[in-house]
Amino acid sequence: MTWLPSGTVYGTLLNQRSEYEALAPHMHDAPYKAPPKAPVLYVKTANTFSPAGAAIPLPARVAEVEVGATVGLVIGGRGQVQGCVLLNDLSIPHASLFRPPVKFKCLDGFLGIGSDVRAVDPESVQIEVHVNGELRETVRFDALVRSPRQLLADVAGFMTLGEGDVLMLGCDASRPRARAGDRVELRSAALGSLSNTLAAEAA
């Protein structure tokens, strides 16, 4: 079974406490000169969507990618959360702090998407990240900077999420890296598994 979002997918920066604390020393640097007061969002465009089991192409210029295991809140009618989905928010490693450039985040296939949406408590979710069968990271969502409820409320303060949209809860600071030929699998007792293979893009 394949499920893909029918609306817009929004990523959230600085919501995992480890990521926030890692970047906190730079938050007073130019051009912002202060920590962000509202959630920092970015868009994963439709060309990035990769269903579970799909091969994700890596351009020749991309030596490795960061694996961003996270939970997506799927928005239903009247802006309510319909359920949660497992997501792999892939990114080319980069130094940009608060506004990740599209060229690092929105390459073709750079969002692995779990095969179904489940009604679970997102704060109870734990994700294990395996690369070629080796456990590389465990991600939890019970100590976020903004809880899922607070994140939704704060986002609603400046924009409207529509039915079919997805809002990611954020990625951990210590994201494993993977290369062409690697098999990346996210495993969660609450949300199932999501597996994709990274493939060198044909010349």
pLDDT at 124: 97
Averaged pLDDT score across all residues of the chain: 94
Residue whose C-alpha is closest to residue 75's, from 126, 171, 11, 9:
9
pLDDT at 27: 87
Return d(Cα 37, Cα 141) in angstroms, integer: 21
In 24-178, which ranges are continuous DSSP H helix?
A: 102-105, 148-156
Which parts of the chain sit beneath pLDDT 70?
A: 1, 96-101, 203
pLDDT at 141: 97
Q: What is the pTM of this model?
A: 0.94
> Is the bond preceding residue 31 a cis peptide, omega within 30 degrees?
yes
Domains and their CATH numbers in the chain:
9-200 (3.90.850.10)
181 DSSP 8-state letter: T
Residues 150-177: tens digit of each pLDDT? 999 999 999 999 999 999 999 999 999 9
pLDDT at 99: 63
Question: C-alpha angle with apex 141: 96 to 32, nearest 5 degrees?
Answer: 30
| Beta carbons of 100 and 172 less than 8 angstroms apart | no
Return d(Cα 46, Cα 88) in angstroms, integer: 14
C-alpha torsion angle, residues 45, 11, 87, 174 (rounded to 10): 130
In the chain, which ranges are continuous DSSP H helix?
A: 17-23, 102-105, 148-156
| Beta carbons of 177 and 66 less than 8 angstroms apart | yes
